[in-house]
Chains A and B, each alone.
Chain A
Amino acid sequence: MIFQRRKLKASTPNPYHQRQWRQFKNNKRGYYSLWLFSILFVITGMAELVANDKPLFVYFNNEVYLPFLITYPETAFGGEFETEADYRDEYVSSLIEAKGWMLWPLIPYQYDTIHYKLNVPAPSPPTAENWLGTDDQGRDVLARVIYGFRISILFGLILTIISSLVGVFIGAIQGFYGGRLDLFLQRFLEIWNSLPVLFMLIILSNFVNPSFWWLLGIMLLFSWTSLVDVVRAEFLRGRNLEYVRAARALGASDRLLMFRHILPNAMVSTVTFMPFLLNGAITTLTSLDFLGFGLPAGSPSLGELLAQGKANLHAPWLGFSAFFSLAILLSLLIFIGEAVRDAFDPRLLKR
């Protein structure tokens, strides 16, 4: 599918795509949301450079060290242990400062760095040092939000892309060939869709120790069905269109008919659906984390932060941080989704 589309694009500039892009831009809110989202995506994508408990750059003894990339033992800086240097430790930092200097990232904490020298008991309120305060284990909330944001987006994107590919493929086959195949797959889908997904996820995540990929796989089991119906309906309609019939009369193979002639039309409803799938995936991950069945303990996750906020109502910065980062992320995606829908809306197409 992707191969076919790329081939088409390469041959001529497609005014359809240009027009869609124009229409997308016409939706100002969606357009700016896309920019904002891209900026956030890039920043959180480089989370290790933004929030890290290791310096980005160390100049020591006329030599250059890149601690955020490479692990150096403490002995490298004249310390005593063979283990990795703890740059936040006063002893190590004084060793380095004596013969050089360190460049710290903007936020000198990892998502799991515990701040031991808090003046107040954790969770501590926002200060100049911890912009969003710390959580109940003394970890910097901003660092956790940045890493959590990244994990949510990546999880959502991967899940959406894979489940779309599977869904489009199954839906296409079902709609195009119809008949008995369609009948059986449709009954199977009905049964599969009636499984209580959240409970299944909770039960399954009790069997395995849920890592990122495990969770992705488990959720994929249930999320691929969401696009099947839409794509199936489009293909059922599409296979009887006159230009599809015309292509068949030319001798086009089934694969060509499906992917060159029908799919572009089915893509409209599919692509329109995708931002909402993405949102759904992020929300599901968050709710699993909130309930404690999600990512392994200690992972930066917005759901876990929400749960902390609920457990520590006296520390409102926890709940607020989690709430606002989720609200902003989900709203941006919805706005982008609306603009995408506009871009594909044939009623807005002008001559």
Chain B
Amino acid sequence: MIVEEKTPSPSSLSSEPLLHLQDLRVSFEHDGNEEEVVKGISLTINKGEILALVGESGSGKSVTAFSILQLLPYPQAKHPSGSIQFENTELINAEPETLRKLRGNRISMIFQEPMVALNPLHTLEKQIGEVLMLHQGLSRQEAKTRTVELLARVKLPNPDRLLNTYPNELSGGQRQRAMIAMAIANQPSLLIADEPTTALDVTLQAEILDLLHALQRHSAMSILLITHDLNLVKRFADRVAVMEKGVLVETADTQSLFSNPQQPYTQALLAAEPSGEPIPLTDPSTPALLTVQDVKVWFPLYKGIFRRVYDHVRAVDGISFTLVPRQTIGIVGESGSGKSTLALALLRLIKSTGQITYKTHHLSALNNNKMRPLRAELQMVFQDPFASLSPRLSIRQIIAEGLTIHQPQLSTETIDQRVVEALKEVDLDPATRFRYPHEFSGGQRQRIAIARALILKPKIIILDEPTSALDRSIQVQIIQLLKDLQDRHDLSYLFISHDLSVIRAISHDVIVMHAGKVVESGPIQRVFADPQHAYTQQLLNATR
């Protein structure tokens, strides 16, 4: 098959149903308690249609998708009621043999994290060829030829040579392409794509979706796209189904849903876009708080038995900027561009060269003991609120830790009082301070992480993707909270993100990083309105 074949236009979609869910319920049993996570969903996917299933985390969209292929952890997972009809075959409680014939053949699936979904010990030839040999009974040689074809169809360069590569030799985008090649190998009627681009950079997201779109048009397959990203939906889906807490709240054509959402939840979801202006700067001529000059982080690469240094990975390669009080500098870039490494280097958590000056202190020249008192004023909030809080300490212990380190003379009562204040600052109920992190949602955890930084009354907070792990509506709240705190306490932020809309809502200046170097920097309006560098333009185009 060749991609350039005549393709049916989207308007000529048949309304013949391919998959039909009727009153589907899914519950999980924990320790005798049953918790229903999908509460009676009825949904139809027509042939050749792209249906987007959107919802925030915990809405049950992935569980719904997994139950189509019966991939849930049975018997802890149960279907109290419901039916899943795929081309007149009932899938709930179907024979394992029936399911095996469908999986990877008539219905296939692509996952969020391609590195985890591909077997790291198998070459592409083996992984993709296996699917072909299993379901189509091709010989090794036929499978090989077909694999090359497939790799070419997903637009991977040099498909012949890629046959013998392992997943770890591919980039994130290439891996996702390889996984798509595997998923479409048997020309499935239905492709379930579970957050297919969430783990990818923005510029890659668009490419992967365009690819999926082209493949779908070409072979008239249906796609069930599961995502939380409404931008993707708008560009890509024919119809949208919105889920909230296990219930389907609205199903509509993409156009009518975006122009005229019926349900309040859908409206809230659509409105949840970080917006607003950064807080006003008091006086632009205030002396700099943090001056960074030519900071470099090079990781040496060794070679030979004497471990001779023959080259370096230039993670951060000569970054300079100045941060004044109350200012936010946004740092944008793709994964691997060195944003997070720069943050760690500024806090002296990894070694770097160059000048870092905070007030009058040359941070780069201080040893650990001299650096410690300054750490109170330079704080950091990390990306993943689930990983950055120690699961074995109570909220009070987590927030108080900085105080006990920097002001050990404080009495227990004073510490407790300060913890209560810090929790109030981030709009959390102080009565929850004796609980443990697992009892909080992602957004609440991020507030706790902010409270932990705040309690030391810092001057600068480095925020490393503080909103990336959160739902859109929560992101909006966190951004607003950060701005309020900044205004109230005259904080300066270094805001690292790959999300341009978040950056736009909070930053005064922006630095665009690519491969460890600054490709463009300046006031945010100027950079966003009139990007000079090709990379910045590409980045902006991808999110429009």
Contact = CB atoms under 8 A, between A and B. Distances in A.
B372 A16 contact: no
B405 interface: yes
Given A250-B456, A252-B401, A351-B438, A243 B396 contact: no
B406 A251 contact: yes
B52 to A, nearest CB: 30
A251 B382 CA distance: 15
A351 B371 CA distance: 39
A242 B380 contact: no
Interface in B357-401: 371-373, 375-376, 379-380, 382-384, 387-394, 396-397, 401
Nearest to A17: B392
B457 to A, nearest CB: 13
A81 B387 CA distance: 76
A316 interface: no
Contacts of B402: 250-251
B449 interface: yes
Nearest to B371: A251
Interface string A226-268: 0000000000000001111111111111001000110011000
Main secondary structure of the interface of A (DSSP, over half): helix
B405 A16 contact: no
A182 to B, nearest CB: 16
B449 A246 contact: yes
A105 B114 CA distance: 72
Contacts of B376: 251
Interface string A15-38: 110000000000000000000000
B375 A249 contact: yes
Contacts of B31: 350
Contact of B382 (A245, A252, A261): A245
B430 to A, nearest CB: 15
Q: Which of B344, B371, B394, B438 has the most CB of A within 10 A?
A: B394
Interface residues of A, number: 26
A62 interface: no
Contacts of A251: 371-373, 375-376, 402, 405-406
A166 B43 CA distance: 61
Given A242-B384, A250-B456, A251-B405, A12 B396 contact: yes
Interface in B260-296: none
Contacts of B405: 250-253, 256
Interface in A45-73: none
B436 A242 contact: no
Nearest to B406: A251
A250 B375 contact: yes
A154 B436 CA distance: 37
A247 B390 CA distance: 9
Contacts of A242: 382-384, 387-388
Contacts, number: 72
Nearest to A261: B390
Nearest to A247: B401
B299 interface: no
A194 interface: no
Contacts of A252: 401, 405
A226 B371 CA distance: 38
Contact of B390 (A14, A243, A249): A243
B347 interface: yes
A11 interface: yes
B173 to A, nearest CB: 25
A256 B371 CA distance: 16
A33 B31 CA distance: 23
B436 A15 contact: yes
B3 interface: no
A246 B382 contact: yes
B89 to A, nearest CB: 34
Given A249-B379, A250-B402, A251-B402, A12 B438 contact: no
Nearest to A351: B438
A256 B402 CA distance: 12
A326 to B, nearest CB: 37
Given A246-B452, A264-B392, A11 B397 contact: yes
B375 A243 contact: no
B388 A246 contact: yes
A243 B401 contact: no
B308 interface: no
A256 B379 CA distance: 18
B117 interface: no
Nearest to A265: B392
A243 B388 contact: yes
Contacts of A253: 372, 405
Interface in B402-422: 402, 405-406
Interface in B271-330: none
A89 B390 CA distance: 67
Contacts of B375: 249-251
Contact of A250 (B393, B439, B452): B452
Q: Which of B393, B439, B456 has the most CB of A within 10 A?
A: B393
A248 B349 contact: yes
Contacts of B372: 251, 253
A271 to B, nearest CB: 14
A351 B30 contact: yes
A159 to B, nearest CB: 28
A249 B392 contact: no
A16 B439 CA distance: 12
Contacts of B391: 16
B102 to A, nearest CB: 29
A241 B387 contact: yes
B299 to A, nearest CB: 15
Contacts of A250: 375, 379, 401-402, 405, 452, 456
Interface in A293-351: 350-351
B66 interface: no
Interface in B439-460: 439, 449, 452, 456
B387 A243 contact: yes
Nearest to A251: B375
21 contacts: A11-B397, A14-B392, A16-B391, A242-B382, A242-B383, A242-B387, A243-B388, A245-B344, A245-B349, A249-B349, A250-B375, A250-B379, A250-B402, A250-B452, A250-B456, A251-B371, A251-B373, A251-B405, A251-B406, A256-B405, A350-B31
Given A241-B387, A246-B388, 6 more contacts: A14-B394, A16-B436, A246-B449, A251-B371, A252-B401, A253-B372
Q: Which 8 pairs between the two chains have the least Cβ-Cβ distance? A: A251-B375, A242-B387, A242-B388, A250-B402, A243-B390, A251-B372, A249-B380, A264-B392
Interface of B: 30-31, 344, 347, 349, 371-373, 375-376, 379-380, 382-384, 387-394, 396-397, 401-402, 405-406, 434, 436, 438-439, 449, 452, 456
